[in-house]
Structure 1
Amino acid sequence: MDFAQLPVAVIGSGPVGLAAAAHLLARNETPIIFEAGSRVADSVQRWGHVRLFSAWEFNIDPVAEQLLIGAGWQTPNLAEFPTGAELVRDYLQPLAQLPQIQLHLKFNSKVVAITRLGLDKLKNAGRATTPFVLTIETVGATHQIYAKAVIDASGTYRNPNPLGVAGVPALGETAANNQIYYGIPDILGNDRARYANRSVAVVGSGHSAFNALLDLAELAEQAPETSVTWIMRRGQVDAALYGGGANDQLVQRGLLGGRVEQLVASGRFKLVTGFGIERITQAEGKLDLQAGERQLTGFDQLIATTGFRPDLSMLSEIRLDLDAAVESPRVLAPLIDPNEHSCGTVRPHGAEELQQPEPNFYIVGMKSYGRAPTFLMRTGYEQVRSVVAALVGDWQAAREVQLVLPETGVCKTQFGGEACCGTTPTRSEILLQL
């Protein structure tokens, strides 16, 4: 087996995974892309009804764009805001259908384990030059492939956080699963009947909650018996909750929070703060929620917009150095930890910050953020540009990381207290701060 001629395995065919494949091709490397679903960017298609708050200009990888243009693709209007479905239809699907990518794209192929050939996690000798072995579950079969490097861009969407306040499912949550939706349902479309004229609780306080609340408010205008309660764990509502408003450089992101704030002020739905769900009970088809001595009762449906977390089960034999709390690469964690950093932006980072003790193994994209929110696609594109440069030995390019993201207008960070995520420091400044 010629180690140098092995492919680079890419896990996931979402925006960041396909960008990684494009960068590998541009560097004369062979990718092999594994998608657990039956279609390109399967996770994105599950929230295809949701409109992104970032315009096309932030959602197209430059190297992927050049491949597409070379095949006659027309760039979308960069000022428009695509839905998830439009992102797939107008960008990711054409990218996946390019012959040089389609040849290496494997659907219905779930990676369930990654290790080194003949080595478990404990063994040191020859590890860096021993092929990775990926165990793949396909329809009706399991097989293994070899790779010289692995880029894990599998995301987190398939692994939502539970409603339970302590990070595990609340008592009774699993039993109530058929009345709980994790993520953003298609409230005004396919899922309308599930919520119209029902008592609905939205749990969470981020942008996903905003989207669900806005759709429910519109639904309530059409179906007046729809009752909406917004539940969050945080004890108080402050200006930061609703975002930067007019100061947010992503205009649509700023508008989301402002519209929800207006709905709260007008009494369009009930707001409950400081409520950490400990128990969910069912009675006559309704759900009752308990937090200590407090109770909320009589819900037909719950929408859990409580975020996502990485599934690390397939990496049990990979040497990882992850932050104990955030579950992101350890060096990246202080830059994105929501306990310390409320910006929607993040300082420049690439292969050096993402590298693991396992040589030539990288976690990128949303999964690289662990449990932290506010990931933007442009961040992932710069990550894979740097990572692929590192994999081919071009460390000068790998270290020249440039990441300029739109400011949120609201930022609280351990590096400077209250701020607006203004200037972006250099890599040397970051290392000094760490």
Structure 2
Amino acid sequence: MLGAMTSFIDLTPVGSDAPACGPGSDSACCDPAEAPLAAGLVTGPVAQPVGTGRLSTLPVAVIGAGPIGLAAAAHLHARGIDFVVLEKRDTPGAAVADWGHTRLFSPWEHLVDPVTKDLLEAAGWTHPKESRAPYGKELVEQYVTPLAELPVLAAHIRTGVEVLAVTREGMDRSRSRGRAEAPFVVRLRGASGEVRDETFRAVIDASGTWANPNPLGSNGLEPLGLDAVRDRIVPALPDVLGSDRARFAGKHVTVVGAGHSAANTLIALAGLARSEEGTRVSWLIRSPKAVRVTTAEDELEGRGALGSRVDELVVSGRIDLVPSFEIVAAEESPSGGVRLVGRDASGVSGGAVGEGGSGGGAAGGGAAESRVHDTDVVVVSTGFRPDLDMLRELRLDLDEVVEAPRALADMIDPNEHSCGTVSPHGFKELAHPEPGFFIVGMKSYGRAPTFLLKTGYEQVRSVVAWLAGDVESASRVELVLPETGVCSTVEGGCC
């Protein structure tokens, strides 16, 4: 059943009499208004939204033209704020299209942002059947593409533009004086390869994590020797029964990872094995049990059924489960395939964040038994992590484990929360010591795989309201989520 989750967030202004640059500091080292930021005493935004003076003449940069980035654009348009959407790929929604053959867990009722719905319906769009869960391809064709083609958004979307870095004009992360009033500088590489800098009032990073998968190694690194067999390593969510069929037919295929992306691939491979003689399927995880894919009650019916189907395939022997295997190295097998070299983790304590657990590496005492696993092809379904390299010159406050904004991290810890038990949150939890900069969408969850599109839509509504100066609306975060069991996601919100 659906239960209302409502949260009202208090905004605590930063007074002008706040400490300068920290205890014992000379007040001349920075302006009082920005001092709490320099001292690291305030993790939320300053009392007033950015956009006064010179900043008010500049647009807001939205990085990424997926469902969340486009929703942010729609909210900015509705608020009368100028904006530019910067998309690395050639078309909006390209990351979702990459896994277009995969069905989402959420039905249409949870996949359409309210403001974008109003814009689309005004242009004659008809909302798909709310109770049906679409495939990724359908989400792009029936929602993302029509939305991106609306003239009020299309005029602001630039494709084939890669964001290389984000900083402040005239200063790196170490400089404090005048920081909050300085425009953001976004360094871009265009389709023809030219590199240029552009200035913006604020930056909303909705670039997702799809292009930055977790490594195959259980310690968060690529296994030693991987380069020798890289041509036999396949990224997450391949089109097993479609365009990638020939790569797997008649082969021994091993899927590494313990989340729902792995489950989707395992089910497809088991189906392939029925019609393609010689096809074998192994499922390698580093935990003793595949607890991330369960048969627990789940309001998202498709996700609950996915876990049940995988369980049945393991019990019937159609999928060979290889538990407690920590991958350390990879090399060519005697048959010309891949040999995964690792150790037995059944007696080793520890855990990690992320689908398949590649985000952290187990920790325990004593040596573990060495193991090998031979296969023809490896599918890496170990989850994703945020690309933070382009944000090195910004002042971020990220949790050291999940790599999400610190105020959000405890709320989304996958060891404690499912998609539906994440509390509603908005601009305050997403803010950093860099006023006017926000990470939203899947990337805001860092390595936690519990993201829902519906949550992302509420994020951008709150963030844009704050940018517009509507602090009351931004601070009042209301969201209704489906009650779920343990969950995971692929980029774009398959939950």
Q: Name the amino acid aligned to 1:372.
A: A
- Determine if the alignment matches structure 1 residue 218 to structure 2 residue 271: yes
In structure 2, how many angstroms separate the alpha carbons of the residues matched to 1:112 and 1:22? 24
Corresponding residue SS for 2:433: coil
Q: In the alignment, is the contact (CA less than 8 A) between 2:293 and 2:486 conserved in 1?
A: no
Q: Which runs of 5+ in 1 are unaligned?
A: 412-434
SS of equivalent to 1:277: strand
Residue 338 of structure 2: SS of its match in structure 1? strand
1:327 matched to 2:412? The reply is no
Q: What percentage of aligned pairs have identical amino acids?
A: 52
Q: Is the 8 A contact 1:345 1:374 kept in 2?
A: no
Matched, 1:170 2:241: no
Shift of 1:296: 3.5
Which residue of 317, 335, 338 corresponds with 1:287?
338
Shift of 1:242: 3.1
In 1, Cα distance between the equivalents of 2:289 and 2:207?
Answer: 34
Pairs within 5 Å for 1:324-363? 324-342=400-418, 344-363=420-439
| AA aligned opposite 1:129 | E
Q: CA deviation at 1:224?
A: 2.7
> Aligned pair 1:262/2:315, yes or no?
no
SS at match of 2:196: strand
Q: Give the Cα–Cα distance (whole angstroms) in 2 for the partners of residues 266 and 326 of structure 1.
A: 36
The answer as to 2:102 corresponding to 1:50 is: yes
Distance 1:141 1:410, change over 3 A: closer
Cα separation, 1, equivalents of 2:322 and 2:145: 41
What is the correspondence of 1:19-418 to structure 2 with a 5 Å cutoff?
A: 19-139=71-191, 140-237=193-290, 240-245=291-296, 247-283=297-333, 284-292=335-343, 293-342=369-418, 344-410=420-486
Moved >4 Å (runs of 4+): none
Deviations 1:180-237 (A, max 9, x none): 1121000000000000110000001110011000000110111131011000011234
Greater relative CO, 1 or 2 (CA 8 Å, sep 6+): 2
Aligned length: 408
Q: Which structure has the bigger radius of gyration?
A: 2
Which amino acid in 2 is paired with 1:217? A
Aligned residues: CA RMSD: 1.4
TM-score normalised over the length of structure 1: 0.91
TM-superposed CA distance for 1:343, in Å, is: 5.1
- State the alpha-carbon separation in 2 of the partners of residues 320 and 167 from structure 1: 22
Query: 1:6-46, CA deviations, whole angstroms, 9 ceiling, x for partnerless residues?
Result: 11000000000000000000000111000000111121111
The unaligned stretches of length 5 or more in structure 2 are: 1-52, 344-368, 488-495
Match of 1:415 in 2: none
SS at match of 1:403: strand
Residues 1:342 and 1:173: Cα distance change in structure 2 (over 3 Å): farther
> Is residue 152–residue 364 contact of structure 1 (8 Å, CA) maintained in 2?
yes
Normalised TM-score (structure 2): 0.80
What residue number does 2:44 align with? none
Write the distance in 2 (CA, Å) between the matches of 1:356 and 1:244.
38
Contact 1:244/1:408 (8 A) holds in 2 = no
- Structure 1, 278-287 or 224-233: larger mean CA deviation: 278-287
- Contact 2:67/2:144, CA 8 A, preserved across alignment: yes
Superposed CA offset, 1:88-143 (max 9, x none): 10000000001111111011101001111111111112211211010001122111
